[in-house]
Amino acid sequence: MEILIVALIVMTLVYAYYTRLVNKKNAVLEALAGIDVQLNMRADLVPNVLKVAKRFLEHESKLLAEITALRMSASRTYDRGDSRSLKRHLSAAAEFEGKMSQLMVTLENYPDLKSDGVMTQAQQTYNDVELHIAAARRFYNTAVSDLNTAVQIFPGSLIAGMAGIQAMPFFEATATARQPIDADSYLR
């Protein structure tokens, strides 16, 4: 009888921990969905930017081609449950972001292009989407941090292993985004 009670208590605790892990995983997936919505918005915006940019940026055709390729790569479907597939997706999104930032900096050198009405509108929308991506990234990373801590500490590691719940990758900023800003170039 006593063994039965102890087993029941252990099972209840394991179940409670399992529920907690599933909740945390779902929170990560919810945050991920938020990121994907923003990434799709950015991907939809890019053709407009490129269409206007192509008229002016003849010398930057390599950059424009890279952006087009990266956009396709970042828009590919992936397996949300597989951390490796997810990591590839997030890396592609980050790389795409880096190239887009490079394009935006390049635009600064073309005053005619910057003053184009369509481009100005596209840039404003792009900046707004970027703000939302940064916020979605923070939401996602908080949820991932929560899940990974629970998955990596005993008994979470054991229960997660049995339930097939894995630690998830963080959505990290690109090397371009981490580079220090040359304030002088803006203040000149």
Show the tokens assigned to 40. Answer: 């799709």
Q: Which among 42-50, 74-82, 106-114, 164-172 is the span making contact with other proteins, rule CB under 8 A?
A: 106-114
Residue 157 and residue 8: Cα distance in Å, rounded?
21
Q: Which stretch binds other proteins (CB under 8 A): 31-39, 53-61, 84-92, 97-105?
A: 31-39
Radius of gyration of the chain (CA): 22
Q: How many CB atoms lie within 10 A of CB 60?
A: 19
Among 11, 105, 131, 158, binds other proteins (CB under 8 A): 131
Compute the least distance from the CB of residue 55 to other proteins, in Å: 15
Nearest approach in angstroms of CB 28 to other proteins is 12
Nearer to other proteins, 135 or 162 (CB): 135
Q: Is the peptide bond before 180 cis (omega within 30 degrees of 0)?
A: no
At which residue do the structure tokens 């945390």 appear?
24
3-state DSSP call for residue 164? coil
Closest CA to 70 of 103, 94, 86, 87: 94
Q: How many CA atoms lie within 13 A of 23 on its CB side?
A: 8
Q: Considering the rule CB under 8 A, would residue 171 count as an interface residue with other proteins? A: no
Among 10, 40, 114, 173, binds other proteins (CB under 8 A): 114
Cβ closer to other proteins: 12 or 142? 142
State the number of binding residues for other proteins (CB under 8 A).
Answer: 23
Q: Is 139 in the site for other proteins (CB under 8 A)?
A: yes
Give the Cβ contact number of residue 150 at 10 Å.
Answer: 20
Eight-state DSSP code of residue 173: P
55 lines the binding site for other proteins (CB under 8 A): no
CB of residue 5 vs other proteins: minimum separation in angstroms? 30
Give the binding site for other proteins (CB under 8 A): 30-31, 34, 38, 108, 111-112, 114-115, 124, 127, 131-132, 134-136, 138-139, 141-142, 186-188
